[in-house]
Chain A
Amino acid sequence: MAAIAHDTHEDHGALHHQFENIEQQNDSYIVGMWTFLVTEVMFFGALFLIYTLYRSMYQMDWYLAHEELDVKLGAFNTIVLLISSFTVAVAVRSAQRKERGLVLANIGITIACAFIFLVVKAFEYSAKFEHHLYPGPTFGSVPEHLNGANANYAQLFYGLYFGMTGLHALHIIVGIIVLSALFNLWWRKCDSVMKDYIPTELVGLYWHFVDLVWIFLFPLMYLMPKPH
């Protein structure tokens, strides 16, 4: 990469050779990130489409199956993610104002929130595994946890539950890695983040998207109204 990263321009430490000025570079990164988020929207969108179709086909069975999920834990995780989204927004704001201490504190809280979310999720998953509510040949072998739902359709529900929340959790894990890298850059007072708030902003955008997915997942998975 040394071949391309030589800097022939002004004193902006982070200006890459292909750009004319820092504004062009910043705009490019923001637009690039939004383009990436659009692909993420389509990625999860297809899952929400499958969910919508199957739920409309098997409303009652899915309602019965979803009663196994713990609304309290889901709501707790929602609050955790909303707070983390808020702290990321504050971190970006502090990055714009170049308040390093506040940035570090807020990114730290965000990472902590992400871990709390994953721990709660792990508890939920392990409960489902204990009750044999994971897709596979032994699904529904503890019938009282099906609440009377058709085992096949319930399996479809749990297939999507694990698929969607699993991919979401994967995004959380990636988020933790990216946030930690950002934290490290701020901790070491790197010019790339100190002089330019764009890296912080990009990570923030990603994290908000992860939050956004959960905003839809929570009511769809945990809060089904009773068919009547």
Chain B
Amino acid sequence: MATTPLSANSHGDHASHELPFGTLVGILLLLMVLMGLTIGASYVTLPSVGPIPGIVINNLVAVGIATIKAALVIWFFMGVKFASALARIWVIAGFLVLFLMFGILGDYGTRKFEQVNGWETNVPHNGGETALPRVWPPEGKPSSTPEVEQGFRPR
């Protein structure tokens, strides 16, 4: 990366980076086939593999095929095959940070590890019992409210 822009750019001959027409047609046909495959796969009930339930396998297949299609478009149609290292780094960085963001799901996955009432999502309320004390002041503690002049109301 230490090269100067001038010297780095002097050999950027873009005109040679054209894909053969046949390759483009081939990619289009491949994309169509993959689309048919993903439609078909969605109607098949896949068996579970070990501890992984079948529905997860189904979803993984669907997302996997979509990822392959996306990779084909990015690599050939969008020309990353010929792009500079810099453009490739950006493509990778983008998807990497997107992947990081899915770390948000880790929160929802680990909430179940320790049951705290009121912390679950999508669980009907169980009789109003929550982690917070509902009586105020908490039992045993005297109310320490100082004398406030009669009729005082904060603005």
Interface on A for B, CB 8 Å cutoff? 20-21, 23-24, 26-27, 30-31, 34-35, 37-38, 41-42, 45-46, 49, 52-53, 56-59, 71, 75, 78-79, 82-83, 85-86, 88-90, 92-93, 96-97, 197, 201, 204-205, 208-209, 211-212, 215-216, 218-220, 223-228
A56 contact set on B, CB distance < 8 A: 105, 108
Proximity bits, B39-61, A CB within 8 Å = 1, else 0:
10111111000000011001100
Q: What are the 7 closest A-B residue pairs judged by CB atoms, nearest first?
A: A225-B58, A38-B94, A223-B42, A23-B9, A45-B98, A23-B12, A86-B28
Among residues of B, the one whose C-beta sits closest to the C-beta of A205 is B78
Say yes or no: B97 contacts A21, CB within 8 Å. no
Q: Please report whether the interface of chain A is mostly helix, strand, loop or mixed according to DSSP.
A: helix
Say yes or no: A71 contacts B39, CB within 8 Å. yes
Among residues of B, the one whose C-beta sits closest to the C-beta of A95 is B18
Are A90 and B122 CB-contacts (below 8 A) given A53-B108, A223-B38?
no
Say yes or no: B12 contacts A82, CB within 8 Å. no
Complex alpha-carbon distance, A31 and B93, angstroms: 13
Interface residues of B in 81-100 (CB under 8 A from A): 83-84, 86-87, 90-91, 93-95, 97-98
Does B115 make an interface contact (CB < 8 A)?
no
Does B155 make an interface contact (CB < 8 A)?
no
- In this complex, how many residues of chain B approach chain A with their Cβ under 8 Å: the count is 60
Does B101 make an interface contact (CB < 8 A)?
yes
Say yes or no: B28 contacts A96, CB within 8 Å. no
B41 contact set on A, CB distance < 8 A: 225
- Contact partner of B74 (CB less than 8 A), chosen from A92, A96, A201, A212, is A212
Say yes or no: B105 contacts A34, CB within 8 Å. no
Stretch at the interface among B62-70, B133-141, B142-150: B62-70
- Contact partner of B94 (CB less than 8 A), chosen from A21, A30, A41, A59, is A41
Interface residues of B in 1-47 (CB under 8 A from A): 5-6, 9-10, 12, 14-15, 17-19, 21, 24-25, 27-28, 31-32, 35, 38-39, 41-46
- Contact partner of B35 (CB less than 8 A), chosen from A58, A82, A89, is A82
Say yes or no: A219 contacts B122, CB within 8 Å. no
- Contact partner of A89 (CB less than 8 A), chosen from B24, B83, B97, is B24
24 contacts between A and B (CB under 8 A): A21-B9, A23-B9, A24-B9, A26-B14, A27-B12, A30-B83, A30-B87, A38-B94, A71-B39, A82-B31, A85-B28, A88-B77, A96-B15, A201-B79, A204-B77, A208-B78, A215-B66, A215-B73, A218-B35, A219-B62, A219-B63, A220-B62, A220-B66, A225-B42
